[in-house]
């Protein structure tokens, strides 16, 4: 049995993170290439939306990842609060910028899709509005971390915030959906993606996995930097941190 707790110390996780970063980066590239080729080149043109719909091969994986990463981040926050574990807090800190990036990509590509498909960049539909609020939740987490000087307090306060946010995400989503049906009626809906041919589904899956592996790789790289920054006073990290500068 592997003693997983051995990796709970930043010092022993540091090299592991390096290996994981390399592996997942290497895996992400072919997946992304394959998925994007299938989606952008091979998949048939849509009867109603022409080629503009192809942006969903970036939009949908980005949106899924933005929500998935928030859940994982909140999970790490829960672990860090209950087990008082520093490395878990660092993982959450490492994930947040990537999650925010995916949210921005989802919003951006959603707007780019909206214009050719329905004539407007922003239609205040339920999913996009919830996505925007999710971006605020990410930014709030990062802003709170940034505003607190003491690292330990920053870890714990932002963890509480992330958990409160995670609990509220479904509530916010359903209330925005309700609001949308109340005010917009049955007009445009960006959820009405073209019917999925199986090749499109495969392409979506491939790009989603690529995004997921990319996120892991980037998070590993970032957590290594965070570890070095925090542990720079120790004997093992000092020289590495100095060299990294």
Partner 1 sequence: MSEAAEQPRIERGAWPGVAWAMRRDLRLALRSKAELGVQLLFYAVIVTLFPLGVGADPALLRALGPGVLWVAALLASLLSLPRLFAADFADGTLEQIALSPYPLPALISGKILAHWLTTGVPLVVLSPLLALQFGLDSSGLVALAAGLLLGTPTLSLLGAIGAALTLGLRAGGALLALLILPLYVPILIFGAGTVEAMRAGLGTGGELSVLGAALLAAAIGAPLASAAAVRIALD
Partner 2 sequence: MLEAHDLAARRGDAQLFSGVSFSLGPGTALFVRGPNGSGKTTLLRILAGTTEPAHGRLLWRGEPVGPFHPVLRACAVFIGHAPALKDELTIEENLASLTMLQGAHAERTAMLDALDAWSLLRQRTLPARVLSQGQRRRVSLARLRLLSRPLWLLDEPASALDDAGHITLCDALAAHLAAGGIAVIATHQDLPVASGTHQTLLLA
Residues forming contacts to partner 2 in the complex (CB under 8 A) are 149-151, 233
| SS3 category, 60 | helix
Question: Which of 137, 211, 218, 237 is the binder for partner 1 (CB under 8 A)?
Answer: 137
Residue 61's φ and ψ, nearest 5 degrees, are -60, -40
We find the least distance from the C-beta atom of residue 57 to partner 1, in angstroms, to be: 29
Closest CA to 165 of 185, 151, 144: 144
Cβ–Cβ < 8 Å for 70, 166:
yes
We find the least distance from the C-beta atom of residue 83 to partner 1, in angstroms, to be: 15
Cβ–Cβ < 8 Å for 214, 198:
no
Q: In Å, how far are 5, 14, 84, 104, 221 from 237, measured between CA atoms?
A: 20, 10, 22, 34, 15
Stretch that binds partner 1, among 56-64, 112-120, 178-186, 199-207 (CB under 8 A): 178-186
151 makes contact, choosing from partner 2, partner 1, none, with CB < 5 to 8 Å by partner type, with: partner 2
Q: What is the CA radius of gyration of the chain?
A: 20
We find the least distance from the C-beta atom of residue 163 to partner 1, in angstroms, to be: 8
The gap between the terminal CA atoms of the chain, to the nearest Å, is 38
Whichever of 5 and 178 has its CB closer to partner 1, that residue is 178
For 79-93, the DSSP string reads HHHHH--HHHHHHHH
Stretch that binds partner 1, among 19-27, 60-68, 131-139, 229-237 (CB under 8 A): 131-139
Whichever of 51 and 229 has its CB closer to partner 2, that residue is 229
Whichever of 22 and 152 has its CB closer to partner 2, that residue is 152
Count of residues that interact with partner 1, criterion CB under 8 A: 28
Residue 13's φ and ψ, nearest 5 degrees, are -80, -25
Stretch that binds partner 1, among 62-70, 158-166, 186-194, 227-235 (CB under 8 A): 158-166
Binding residues for partner 1 (CB under 8 A): 81, 133, 136-137, 139-140, 143-144, 147-148, 152-153, 156-157, 160-161, 163-165, 167-168, 171-172, 175-176, 178-179, 182
């Amino acid at each position: 049995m592997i003693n997983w707790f051995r990796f709970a110390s930043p010092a022993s996780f540091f090299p592991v993170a390096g290996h994981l970063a390399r592996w997942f980066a290497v895996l992400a590239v072919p997946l992304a290439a394959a998925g994007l080729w299938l989606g952008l080149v091979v998949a048939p043109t849509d009867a109603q939306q022409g080629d503009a719909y192809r942006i969903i091969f970036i939009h949908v994986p980005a949106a899924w990842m933005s929500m998935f990463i928030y859940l994982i981040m909140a999970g790490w926050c829960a672990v860090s609060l209950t087990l008082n574990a520093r490395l878990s807090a660092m993982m959450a800190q490492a994930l947040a910028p990537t999650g925010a990036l995916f949210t921005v990509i989802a919003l951006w590509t959603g707007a780019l899709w909206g214009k050719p498909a329905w004539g407007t960049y922003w239609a205040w539909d339920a999913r996009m509005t919830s996505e925007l609020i999710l971006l605020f939740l990410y930014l709030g987490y990062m802003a709170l971390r940034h505003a607190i000087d003491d690292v330990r307090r920053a870890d714990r306060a932002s963890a509480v915030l992330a958990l409160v946010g995670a609990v509220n995400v479904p509530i916010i989503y359903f209330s925005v959906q309700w609001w949308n049906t109340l005010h917009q009626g049955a007009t445009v809906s960006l959820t009405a993606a073209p019917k999925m041919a199986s090749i499109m589904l495969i392409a979506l899956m491939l790009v989603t996995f690529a995004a997921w592996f990319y996120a892991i790789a980037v998070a590993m790289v970032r957590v290594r930097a965070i570890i070095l920054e925090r542990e720079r006073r120790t004997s093992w990290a000092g020289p590495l941190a100095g060299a990294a500068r």
